[in-house]
Amino acid sequence: MAKKKKQPKQNIKKRQTQKAQKRKQVKAKLASKQPAQKKMSMSKVKKNLKLLPALIFEPELSVLAFSPAQLKAGESAGEKTPDRIDQVADAAFLEVFVTALKAMDHRFHLERDANKNMMTQAMLYFMAQDKSPACLNQLIVSLYFNGLHKAQTGQDLEFAELNQILKNYDQEYESYLEEKSKDLSVLGQEAADEAGEEEDDSSFTPEGAFGELLADLDEWAAESELSSEQQEQLLVDLTLLLDDYASEKGWSELAELTPARVKNFRDGWFVRQMSPTDQDKTLMDHSLSTFFGSPLAMERLGSKNCVDILSQLG
């Protein structure tokens, strides 16, 4: 088949606009492939988290127990318990708290404890929200009340006691906490709106060698014999490899794209993160074969490496 003639270059501004639109479409398609668990609303998650307070007794969080001195310092915030909790759980504490949550989340993942893993994922989601106050965080509130009890008795609260205290806390400060929740929702919506308004081509394109390769792939695909649908699928699949996966692994050089790593991406990460259907797997195989068999990949990654990758993929 004769090679398609290269079209005259379009106006630069027009080409940039088209690229931005294409990447937004790809981003939306990637988002739609995320497992349902990642899209679960916080309200739905909370209904399944009755055992959440028990996480404060896990080793990663138990070491963060508030000391009597910290609790005493919190009294300077006034009479209301929510304000005192916000006082003791300062920025430094919250940073350590998130680190502990991530460590615990990783451990639960390795232990294949789906229930506890869901709890930590929900809390990490909550902590990622702008201006999320500590007095609304059930784990931090639990740490606070357990700290008060331990300062008086030297013992941790029983789980049933802790749950009752949390229930009383929610009832006593219901209206006050409700206002805090509204403030959080408004701030979160404003942040989402701003992110949507400011999103552009550069916000989606990864930087460095892999970003350049993705940009070149976009150009190559546009000039190839691939249909528009095939071009989009190729960009979707290779974005997962060259952006999401490469970023997660901390790769910065194209030489790090080895046969074994590409195979691990396809057979491991892609399956775990995307929960692909059989059709998705077939499309991914086709995209990888198309890319690593292309002149672009041969030139940028080395022909021997590409041949080895194709052989590894089978």
Q: What angle is formed at CA 30 by the lines to CA 28 and CA 34, rounded to 5 degrees? A: 115
In this structure, the dihedral spanned by the alpha carbons of residues 178, 183, 186 and 189, taken in order and rounded to 10 degrees, is -100
Residue 36: predicted pLDDT: 43
Residue 146: predicted pLDDT: 94
Query: What residues contact residue 36 under an 8 Å CB cut-off, 6+ apart?
Result: none
For the chain, residues with pLDDT lower than 50 are 1-13, 15-16, 34-47, 185-206
Integer Cα distance of 280 and 237 in angstroms: 9
| CB-based contact 287:237 (threshold 8 Å) | yes
Please tell me the pTM assigned to this model: 0.47
Residue 207: predicted pLDDT: 55
The amino acid present at 1, given as its one-letter code, is M
Report which of 250, 70, 227, 248 is spatially closest to residue 144, judged by C-alpha positions.
Answer: 70
Residue 247: predicted pLDDT: 82
Residue 99: predicted pLDDT: 93
| CB-based contact 209:252 (threshold 8 Å) | yes
Residue 23: predicted pLDDT: 55
Residue 200: predicted pLDDT: 40
Write down the residue that tokens 């668990």 correspond to. 37
Structural domain spans, the chain? 37-198, 205-313
pLDDT digits (tens, 9 = 90+) for 90-110: 999 999 999 999 999 899 888
pLDDT digits (tens, 9 = 90+) for 165-193: 998 998 888 888 777 666 554 444 444 34
